[in-house]
Amino acid sequence: MFVDAASYERFMGRWSAVLAPGFLDAVDLGDGHGVVVDVGCGTGNLASAVLDRWPDASVVGVDPSEAFVESARRRFGDSGFRGEVGYAAALPLPDAAADATLALLVLNFLPDPAAGVADMRRVTRPGGVVGATVWDYGGGMAMLRTYWDAAAAVRPDAAAVDEALASPARAGGIEALFAGAGLTDVRGGLLEVGMRFETFDDYWRPFLLGIGPAGDFTRALDDAGREALRAELLRRLGDGPVEMTSTARWVRGLVPA
């Protein structure tokens, strides 16, 4: 579900790019932006926000998707970005190598989120920042909440794969992970992204690209099921323009000195 970089950008990257600068403000790296690890870097939207703000930073992007890492490498060339194929729970970095380790829209996709946060802590130096954000799937993530509610209305099996079920997506989920990893001064909050879809199709068509759990679910439907879902979403959203605000939860903690 995370293979084609252009499709990812069309479905989610256009919004993660908007979320990234607000996330950087929230986690507040202070002067600690020399080496920044971007866990689950995807096509590089967080790395781009870091390098826009601090052109002298070195970003190490890690993602299991070879296609995404390759796309990010092409995007940055030699300017401050190193892309590595790897996993959050086994980051290809030595202990305490980073000033900050961040994950934008990733923790809910990890098979073992606690192991991922533990490794984020391991690679970050004492006093460094570990930070993460995930969409508020069960509440204010309007783009996907609307999708999953409509899907459950026409297909009862949708409820079992609703993205709100992942523990990091729940209220307090990411704060508990950070406290459990022994990070200190853990704090968090909400970020908002205004989303405007010029037409209903601008909202709907990216779901056909097979990106993420919602794209996966849409693709697996037969033609009749897909048409029923499209009709239910059109009934809820109208022809467009469609405007909504989507909310993400963020958290940051410090590695004890």
Ligand X SMILES: C[S@@+](CC[C@H](N)C(=O)[O-])C[C@H]1O[C@@H](n2cnc3c(N)ncnc32)[C@H](O)[C@@H]1O
Sites of contact with ligand X (CB under 6 A):
2, 12-13, 16, 39-42, 45-46, 63-65, 68, 87-88, 104-106, 109-110
- Please, which residue, 26 or 46, has the CB nearer to ligand X? 46
**Spatial separation of the C-alpha atoms in residues 257 and 4, rounded to whole Å:** 41
Give least dist CB 154 to ligand X, A: 25
- Please, which residue, 64 or 238, has the CB nearer to ligand X? 64
- What is the four-CA torsion angle of 146, 250, 60, 51, rounded to 10 degrees? 90
**Spatial separation of the C-alpha atoms in residues 23 and 42, rounded to whole Å:** 16
Give least dist CB 199 to ligand X, A: 24
- Please, which residue, 46 or 232, has the CB nearer to ligand X? 46
- Please, which residue, 150 or 211, has the CB nearer to ligand X? 211
Please, which residues have CB within 8 angstroms of residue 141's CB and are 6 or more apart in sequence?
Answer: 135, 246, 247, 248
Query: 253: helix, coil or strand?
Result: strand
Give least dist CB 161 to ligand X, A: 16
Give least dist CB 79 to ligand X, A: 19
Give least dist CB 165 to ligand X, A: 16
- Please, which residue, 110 or 233, has the CB nearer to ligand X? 110
First to last CA, the chain: 39
- Return the residue nearest ligand X (CB atom): 42
**Spatial separation of the C-alpha atoms in residues 65 and 46, rounded to whole Å:** 16
Concatenated DSSP letters for 187-221? Answer: EEEEEEEEEEESSHHHHHGGGGG--HHHHHHHHHS
